[in-house]
């Protein structure tokens, strides 16, 4: 009887472990299964591109034409893994209303349902987006501001490293996906080499030299613990500032409300 129970437990563990490995990409990018409509507001331009690998790429552009600046300010946004672009439009608009022309990246397999979201696929799409933006807006890639929230911080830091951007804004960032996964009980026993999505924020932050970084994080975040932001700040060895805005009693979700309130202050700090 004991042997049967032990055998059942072992088989159950192997099955659950195998399912986690096989379907982990849907845990990292769950919005691929989001049935909600991904509709842009009338004042948002939805841009469809064809990537070098022949996959369709979608980015959303918002510009408040009432905001006139002597110098163009461009931001490229990366939202969280459980969101569609339509659910991040309010953030895009808030940034746009402060004088930025904002582009919001749509991940493969999300609202547009084109292809399949993976770390490398979104890297490729974000590079194509930068190439499109620099050509259309006639700006240098280093002058584009990457802004990332949650999973999106990994793509924002990728762009910052790839193009050595002057600034970078991170909302509830993690050190890496394997380290962030260990917070979840079901991933504690999965070796890091079995976690295929890496998104190595800490390694990228270490490599930045002339990028000013502003990060905001809530101390009550149980999805991505606050200490990860502290680790990222310590890892930065660049020549510019790394400003960590700490929000007491804020979690992974309501930190967005505080970010929107802090935006004027953040923009001022970026321009100092």
Between the alpha carbon of residue 77 and those of residues 89, 180, 183, 271, the distances in Å are 10, 21, 26, 18
Question: What pLDDT, in 10s, does the model give residues 154-173?
Answer: 999 999 999 999 999 999 99
Pairing outcome for strands 44-50 and 56-62: antiparallel
Q: Are 84 and 110 in contact (CB under 8 A)?
A: yes
Residue 38 is given by DSSP the state -
Q: Which two structure tokens, joined as six digits, stand for 69?
A: 């600046």
pLDDT at 114 (0 to 100): 72
Q: Which pLDDT belongs to residue 11?
A: 63
- The pLDDT assigned to 21 comes to 54
- Dihedral pair phi/psi, residue 23, rounded to 5°: -105, 20
What domains sit in the chain, N to C, each tagged with a CATH number? Answer: 2-270 (3.40.50.1820)
**H helices, E strands: number in the chain:** 9, 8
Ordered mean pLDDT values, 10 residues apiece, the chain (272 residues): 66 54 67 72 92 89 82 94 91 95 92 79 96 97 98 98 98 96 72 81 97 98 97 97 97 97 97 88
pLDDT at position 53, please? 86
Q: Give the integer Cα–Cα distance in Å for 102 and 91.
A: 10
Q: Which residues of 171-209 are buried (b: 16+ CB within 10 A; e: fewer)?
A: bbbbbbbbbbbeeeeebeebeeeebebebbbbebbebbe
Say what the pLDDT of residue 54 is.
87
Q: Is the dihedral of CA 53, 55, 56, 60 positive or negative?
A: negative
Cα(234)–Cα(247) distance, integer angstroms? 18
What pLDDT is stored for residue 189 in this prediction?
64
CB 196 within 8 A of CB 25: yes
């Amino acid at each position: 009887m004991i042997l049967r129970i032990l055998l059942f437990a072992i088989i159950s563990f192997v099955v659950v472990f195998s399912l986690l490995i096989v379907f982990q990409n849907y845990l990292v990018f769950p919005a691929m299964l989001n049935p909600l409509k991904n509709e842009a507001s009338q004042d948002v331009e939805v841009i469809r591109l064809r990537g070098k690998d022949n996959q369709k790429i979608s980015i959303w552009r918002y510009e408040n034409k009432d905001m006139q600046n002597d110098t163009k300010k461009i931001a490229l946004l990366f939202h969280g893994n459980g969101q569609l672009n339509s659910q991040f439009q309010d953030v895009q608009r808030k940034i746009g209303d402060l004088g930025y022309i904002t582009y919001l990246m749509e991940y493969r397999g999300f609202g547009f349902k084109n292809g399949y979201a993976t770390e490398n696929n979104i890297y490729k799409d974000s590079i194509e987006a930068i190439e499109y933006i620099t050509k259309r807006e006639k700006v240098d890639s280093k002058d584009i501001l990457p802004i990332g929230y949650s999973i999106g911080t990994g793509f924002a830091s990728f762009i910052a490293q790839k193009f050595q951007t002057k600034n970078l804004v991170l909302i509830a960032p993690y050190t890496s996906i394997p380290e962030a996964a260990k917070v979840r009980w079901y991933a504690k026993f999965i070796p890091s080499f079995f976690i295929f999505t890496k998104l190595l924020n800490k390694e990228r932050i270490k490599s930045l030299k002339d990028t000013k970084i502003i990060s905001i994080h809530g101390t009550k975040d149980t999805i991505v613990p606050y200490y990860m932001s502290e680790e990222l700040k310590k890892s930065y060895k660049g020549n510019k500032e790394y400003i960590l805005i700490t929000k007491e009693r804020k979690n992974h979700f309501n930190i967005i409300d505080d970010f929107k309130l802090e935006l004027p202050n953040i923009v001022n700090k970026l321009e100092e």
